Amino acid sequence: MIELKDICKTFRVSKRNAGLKEAFKSFFRREYTCIQALDNVSFTINEGEMVGYIGPNGAGKSSTIKIMSGILTPDSGRCIINGRTPWKDRIAHVKEIGVVFGQRSQLWWDVPVIDSFELIKDIYRIDGSTYNKNLNELTELLDIGEIIRTPARQLSLGQRMRCEIAASLLHSPRILFLDEPTIGLDAVSKTAVRQFIKTINKERKTTVILTTHDMQDIEALTERIILIGKGKILLDGILDQLKKRNSTHKKLSVDYLGDGSSLSVLPDGMHLLDNLDGHAKIAVDTSILPVSNAIACLSKNMEITDISITGSTVEEMVVTLYEEFQI
């Protein structure tokens, strides 16, 4: 059970203009601007939930994760995780959580991965049988049996990321924070990682909080999403409902022969977005005009060589949301 209430955090950033004179001036008097990284952030996440935490760069995602994992101390607000305040009770708190920062490594660079695992075993005081059970399960699920005897520096990014995730789950945490776990991974590794996260959430009932920019991650994994922008929670809801809300808009991409002059007059519910060299993009509002009718209408007036319909992918939905909230 995770509960955040009115969490605020500001950072002080020093600023100066370019140039020697300015640099000299800043030596004596420095100008700072305060950046409100988190502004009254509140949400509750229940045990066993899987939540996607999304937002553009610099929205405050990582800061929230860092507060929840006890690294950062917020300026004000309350955060109770499993009955503890992370930054006050850090050592007891971190025993129950696992954290993966996609952009950093927790594995020991020049020794085999298994040595890092052993060290983690001692640090968390995992008893022998639990450790072996977890290790076997994790190596099998993540398919890392072959590579854990290799030094971390010689692993590919995808292999390393799988080892990182395994490392953060060895002590059977109740909560797993994943900060961009699929950043920079190829399609195969991404799928493997996603599949694994899903299994862990289902079988171990581990609460998973995931930040990502990859909307396929969100689509494949989470039911609930929390959208943050400029430090504020903008939206907290079920992904499917959001999709429904946005699914009335479809996009048609049309390749045609001829000059396309007929596109200048379109019926109600259709809206020309783009028209270039025999390639047009048209938005269709399906609440006014069904897609089939729209296609029929187009093909009546011109010769179509290719057509594709894109619905509201999560990606587009998020773009719409970002636009809607102007973040």
Q: Which residues bind another protein (CB under 8 A)?
A: 11, 62, 66, 69-73, 87, 90-92, 94-95, 97, 99, 101, 103-106, 111, 115, 118-119, 122-125, 180
Give long-range contacts, CB 8 A cutoff, 24+ apart: 90-93: none
Strands (E) in the chain, as ranges, are: 2-15, 31-45, 50-54, 76-81, 97-101, 175-179, 207-211, 224-229, 232-238, 249-257, 270-276, 279-285, 303-310
Toward another protein, which CB reaches closer, 94 or 295? Answer: 94
Decide whether 116 or 189 has the Cβ nearer to another protein: 116
**Cβ 312 to another protein, closest distance in Å?**
29
CB 114 to another protein: min, Å: 12
Nearer to another protein, 101 or 256 (CB): 101
168 Cα distance to chain centroid:
18
**H or E element, residue 125:** none
Q: How far is the CB of 103 from another protein (least distance, A)?
A: 5
| Shortest separation between residue 66's beta carbon and another protein, angstroms | 6
Nearest approach, Cβ of 26 to another protein (angstroms)? 14
Name, in order, each residue with C-beta under 8 angstroms of 117's C-beta and a sequence gap of 6 or more.
135, 148, 166, 167, 170
Element (H, E) at 135: helix 128-142
Q: How far apart are the first and last CA of the chain?
A: 29
Nearer to another protein, 66 or 160 (CB): 66
Query: What distance in Å separates the CA atoms of residue 322 and residue 1, rounded to the nearest whole number?
Result: 29
Compare residues 123 and 296 and give the one whose CB is closer to another protein. 123
- The CA distance from 144 to 233, in Å, is 37
Q: Which of 52, 82, 101, 92 is nearest to 174 (CA)?
A: 82
Nearer CB in complex with another protein: 51/176 = 176
Identify which of residues 26 and 286 has a Cβ nearer to another protein in the complex: 26
What 3-state class would DSSP assign to 291? helix
CA-nearest of 231, 304, 163, 167 to 6 is: 231
Taking the complex as a whole, how short is the minimal distance between the CB of residue 40 and another protein, in angstroms?
A: 20
Give whichever of 10 and 301 is closer to another protein, judged by the CB atom.
Answer: 10
In the complex, least distance from residue 123 CB atom to another protein, rounded to whole angstroms: 5
Identity of the residue numbered 216: Q
Q: Could you tell me the smallest distance in angstroms from the CB atom of residue 324 to another protein?
A: 26
CA separation for the pair 193, 225 (Å, rounded): 19
The least distance separating another protein from the CB of residue 155, rounded to whole angstroms, comes to: 17
Name the residue nearer to another protein (CB basis): 9 or 230.
9
The answer to whether the CB of 157 falls within 8 A of the CB of 93 is no
